[in-house]
Amino acid sequence: MTNSTTQKPPIWFWIVSIIGLIWNGMGVNAYLQQAYNTQSYQDMYTAEHLLFEANSPSYVKAAFAIAVFAGVLGFVFLLLRKKLGYTLLLVSLLAVAIQMSYYFIQDHIISLPMTLMIIIGAIIFLVFARFSKLKGWLN
């Protein structure tokens, strides 16, 4: 017989989880704007960058989609206090690594601070989810 009781998480668990959900929600918005090539997306970038993005391989676009949608779902599951959130955030981090490595290899980083913030953020969110799992806040 297994004991599957969970501990009550502290208030900062909820705050970090909501921040993570909002962050990844902004990523979903960015992905959808890029995927549908909206006017606001076009207005944000130079013609050179838009051409680069349009000609990037399908796996890079897929990695972007996986990263942000897995991130949103990961935080939804964390807010539901489910361990699946950790797995989804791991998938999100792996997709971020694939996407960003393409930009580094192609030497086409629009904003190094933003790129680093995305990578570091995905790592921090995964560490947070793992910590939450180890503390028994997830079931």
Place of tokens 């993005």: 53
Given this model, what pLDDT does residue 129 score?
A: 98
Alpha helices in 10-106 (DSSP H): 11-35, 39-44, 47-54, 58-79, 84-105
Given this model, what pLDDT does residue 1 score?
A: 41
Phi-psi region of 6 (alpha: psi -120 to 50; beta: other; left: phi over 0): beta
For residue 2, tell me if it sits in a domain: no
Q: What is the pTM of this model?
A: 0.91
For residue 65, tell me if it sits in a domain: yes
For residue 109, tell me if it sits in a domain: yes
Given this model, what pLDDT does residue 109 score?
A: 80
126 is in which domain, residue-wise? Answer: 11-134
Q: How far apart (Å, rounded) are the C-alpha atoms in residues 88 and 73?
A: 7
Given this model, what pLDDT does residue 4 score?
A: 58
> Low-confidence residues of the chain, pLDDT below 50?
1-2
Given this model, what pLDDT does residue 79 score?
A: 98
For residue 1, tell me if it sits in a domain: no
Q: How far apart (Å, rounded) are the C-alpha atoms in residues 89 and 128?
A: 10
- What is the total count of domains within the chain? 1
Structure confidence by residue, pLDDT tens digits, 31-66: 999 999 999 999 999 999 899 999 999 999 999 999
For residue 6, tell me if it sits in a domain: no
